[in-house]
Structure 1
């Protein structure tokens, strides 16, 4: 199972820094650098091992296609076997030339990030590649069955890519009937045999789908995919794992873990959970150990985990579960697909999850705990496991499906900012920012990974246009964070106002510029979905003094399924006071939503609302 990196800090976004995506589109098929023709045959053996033979044919269409095929790597587990059956290249107008054995190299694969393995890697390096060169190879791989796996499960997915798919043909065979489910698969024909033990898949027409110049937060929540399996029953896939997990949990806690449980024994349940999460963070690091064994979903036992002082997600999850249960808190191990995108569960097989977590019941609420993360906020679920299915293992070894809910858009940032303008348009600024929820967790991670000086500089840089003499005052962050963390800032903004003839202009980019990315998306016909992160609310108050403002703020409201905005304000004798509250209510925006008339109406209303703050200023 994989450990995904913690998302980078959203402080910049929250304080109003805006990025502008460039023109985007679907890349024309004529610009495809490579053409591909794929034939695949996988046979699922009775013992849940798999034999797959793949024949791949590429034609280089553009110069950059040559670099894409410069070296072709195949990684496989130490217990699997891999064989190059044939490989040759053909230059334009020439005969095929077999790939020399010296151009085929097998070695130990590089260790994964934060882990040990003894995987192998075979690489092909075809000589004299240029536009028009064709290469063709056939490889065969035997994948041994993983421990406790008795069923087969295989996923065939088609992400956008720079490969023009001219032809795809896949054939799946098995010793028992094949179950299959698909999504967005209209571009393929799927033909099962009469006895259900063979499934033929073929692409209907050449396809090229590659997005260019999309936003850095763009992704697709749905892609063409087909899953095949020996059953659609989750208990058949995970029941043996559930029993093994419960056997591990039945063992006595190791000495150090037992001492940590005893030390937290007098605390309230929520504080006990925080103390045990802190203990694991202090004494264990994430490190996957797959040397000389392919454990699959099976953790080390509790004594081994304590002896190592490290573990991957399943090791740390089962240790935390055991410690919570020993504390009298109901806890269960669970499997989930972690990441920004959570695909629908087609077949609840062993390739569906990629991560192990803990389901705990604390003070009548369900908490989803991930001990691999470098920060913990009691009762909060990080966005990479929100709003998706999860498979939970109970004390009897029964596996059920639940849904991890989407977080509510609670207040995550509260800003109180006072700016006093001098006669040159500079702004002496004092501000208090109160961090909660995900922005606070991200600040804690930034402090941990890069140090407080870098985080403070990042905060200062986004308080205005030309910042000087910035001083940040705050308490140290910690692994366990609680809502309501205050940061105080004093600084001078030497471009708090923009010069306009004999007057100046004040604009609040945190409010006005927030919609520019969506406007560019619509104007340039971007295609992908947009990932927004945690639903959350920003609450900002501004007091501007030392100037005479052109107009009053009548106030406004915007309501939509995606954002809510409230603005009110008062013009004073020497300035302006105003307050706005912006709630982001969803994690994702689909292309259809952003391109819709209703979304365009929301943008227009929000910009009109923000225009009330745009002021001509006399000093």
Structure 2
């Protein structure tokens, strides 16, 4: 996707376009390592706490199934409880044997990477597992009600999995009528009682959904899922929480935050936002404190956040909102589902979002601000919160739904590269690179996390496999980045041309290789949606001198809903210059899109376009 790739990207996106695979398909049901039979019963209590009893029954079908059941963990909050009611294993041809109490262990769960808690973890370790063993255990969980939660909301999702799901049934009961909505749920029967207080789900037939040999940037975005709740109205779920947020925002700013607002007051609104984001990044770290109490959606108050010097997403979001409002910038807290894949909003309940951000209006534009990230580009929305619903809390405590738009494919990399060949086919290379938007943010994060020396080595490595004497000249990056950051690179490329017989061949691999992964995908019948990342445009100008080129470049244009490509060039007395611009216009490609005739036409035209650059060179 990007010409330049860094070892530690900003988010968990895959930077390569497609990984080449031997084949791709749904794994046959006969190869399933486990068979499962699950029965779930959850009761939603009047205080919105939940009691769930679940019986799990597994049959080990393949040796790998033993490893999948080697240790079975249950994590739960400190204020919740989990009880193992029954656990037994049955060897082939033998009687059931109860799990000894010494094989059940409860302890404090490991802390998350960016937070600390006192969550508990109960683990089961069944002895003597082998193919044919049956494992059955029943657990009862009590989940305490979260602060200010006046409704219940529960979600079930069935994605690709390593076990063959022979049976699954669930019963939900409540003290008040249950509402439900589902997606891709044809494989289940759903029955609601006459009074609406009981909902039964029964899987229709055995199911095994496990993809093999898919690309590393593939995902399934449409999975069977159902959500149940006591309401379908977002205000019912978030009204009390929204009012609490506004109570926190009404408090006076703490001294350190007030001083930062005062220091930025003379700046333009856009620069004020940048200064306040910079302040939070310098003075606060992203760290959640979930010890002793389950705060749920409720942030610490402003004084507590400043005293801690850290916070999770809701803490930093409400602090930033308060600082922006004190600066005279319209700002509101918002809740969103963060990640590459954004499910549609079935029920606008408290289980739907997983992240808090800030909606700000800056110079007539809406900015979506996430103060938990280690980099900030004014006006840019990061990929993990783009193109999805968002729930916004206004000053009156009313929660509305908006949509965060997809970024436009603006120019993110502008590269001017000159290569001069010697008689042995080596290339003295110099290049100017202008980075903007997501590649620039990734560059800043790479410098921050691994140091500029390692990043410079990455930049050099992206020019080829025979690079030596590479020198990178650039200014230091920072938390706050602006489009048009420039880098100059000088190097020798000992594999600038490919030696063939008595001549040499030049190929622009960055233009040619882009389409190979799609060809493999179509040939192998892959099934996943492909994640491409931010829409973007790259602009390349390449000048080759020191040799006689075989042919002129007539130029070409390719247009499609997914990519646009423009190429032109001219022969010179001692070489060739060409220019191309490639725009990627979407974040995701579906299997139907990639398999379509229109996408096949795009590949053919783009390959023919890239072939124009292929040259026989005489030195």
Q: Could you state the TM-score of these two structures normalised by the residue count of structure 2? A: 0.98
Who is 1:209 aligned against?
Answer: 209
Q: Supply the distance in 2 between the matched residues of 1:584 and 1:20 (Cα, whole angstroms).
A: 20
Who is 1:99 aligned against?
Answer: 99
Who is 2:602 aligned against?
Answer: 602
- Look up the SS of the partner of 1:231 in the other structure: coil
Who is 2:262 aligned against?
Answer: 262
Contact 1:9 1:439 in 2 (8 A): no
For structure 2, the 5+ residue unaligned runs are 1-7
Q: Supply the distance in 2 between the matched residues of 1:443 and 1:98 (Cα, whole angstroms).
A: 56
Q: Supply the distance in 1 between the matched residues of 2:68 and 2:472 (Cα, whole angstroms).
A: 47
1:285-342 Cα offsets, whole Å, 9 max, x none, are 0110010000000000000000000000000000000000000000000000000000
1:486-524 Cα offsets, whole Å, 9 max, x none, are 010000110100011111100000101111111111111
Q: Supply the distance in 1 between the matched residues of 2:466 and 2:61 (Cα, whole angstroms).
A: 48
Q: Deviation of residue 188 (structure 1)?
A: 0.5
Q: Supply the distance in 1 between the matched residues of 2:349 and 2:572 (Cα, whole angstroms).
A: 64
- Look up the SS of the partner of 2:272 in the other structure: helix
Q: Supply the distance in 2 between the matched residues of 1:536 and 1:6 (Cα, whole angstroms).
A: 16
Q: Supply the distance in 1 between the matched residues of 2:19 and 2:191 (Cα, whole angstroms).
A: 47
Q: Supply the distance in 1 between the matched residues of 2:293 and 2:18 (Cα, whole angstroms).
A: 48
Who is 2:435 aligned against?
Answer: 435
Aligned length: 612
> In structure 2, do the counterparts of structure 1 residues 144 and 8 end up closer, same or farther at CA, with 3 Å as the change threshold?
closer
Contact 1:334 1:390 in 2 (8 A): yes
Query: Does residue 81 of structure 2 align to residue 81 of structure 1?
Result: yes
- Alignment root-mean-square deviation, CA: 1.2
1:198-229 Cα offsets, whole Å, 9 max, x none, are 11101100000001111110111111000000
Q: Deviation of residue 9 (structure 1)?
A: 8.3
Q: Deviation of residue 546 (structure 1)?
A: 0.4
1:525-583 Cα offsets, whole Å, 9 max, x none, are 11000000000000000000001111110000000000000000001111100000000
Contact 2:10 2:441 in 1 (8 A): no
Q: Could you state the TM-score of these two structures normalised by the residue count of structure 1? A: 0.98
Query: Does residue 589 of structure 2 align to residue 592 of structure 1?
Result: no
Query: Does residue 575 of structure 2 align to residue 575 of structure 1?
Result: yes
Matches within 5 A, 1:518-557: 518-557=518-557
Q: Supply the distance in 2 between the matched residues of 1:475 and 1:105 (Cα, whole angstroms).
A: 54
Contact 2:530 2:590 in 1 (8 A): yes
1:48-71 Cα offsets, whole Å, 9 max, x none, are 000000000000011111011000
Query: Does residue 16 of structure 2 align to residue 6 of structure 1?
Result: no
Q: Supply the distance in 2 between the matched residues of 1:508 and 1:19 (Cα, whole angstroms).
A: 19
Query: Does residue 433 of structure 2 align to residue 463 of structure 1?
Result: no
Who is 1:126 aligned against?
Answer: 126
Q: Deviation of residue 404 (structure 1)?
A: 0.2
Q: Supply the distance in 1 between the matched residues of 2:176 and 2:595 (Cα, whole angstroms).
A: 46
1:385-417 Cα offsets, whole Å, 9 max, x none, are 000000000000000000000000000000000
For structure 1, the 5+ residue unaligned runs are none
Large movers: runs of 4+ above 2 Å: 17-22
Contact 2:39 2:54 in 1 (8 A): yes
Q: Supply the distance in 1 between the matched residues of 2:138 and 2:178 (Cα, whole angstroms).
A: 25
Who is 1:565 aligned against?
Answer: 565
Contact 2:18 2:518 in 1 (8 A): no
Q: Supply the distance in 1 between the matched residues of 2:438 and 2:13 (Cα, whole angstroms).
A: 9
Contact 2:9 2:445 in 1 (8 A): no
Q: Supply the distance in 1 between the matched residues of 2:9 and 2:487 (Cα, whole angstroms).
A: 26
Q: Deviation of residue 79 (structure 1)?
A: 0.6
Who is 1:169 aligned against?
Answer: 169
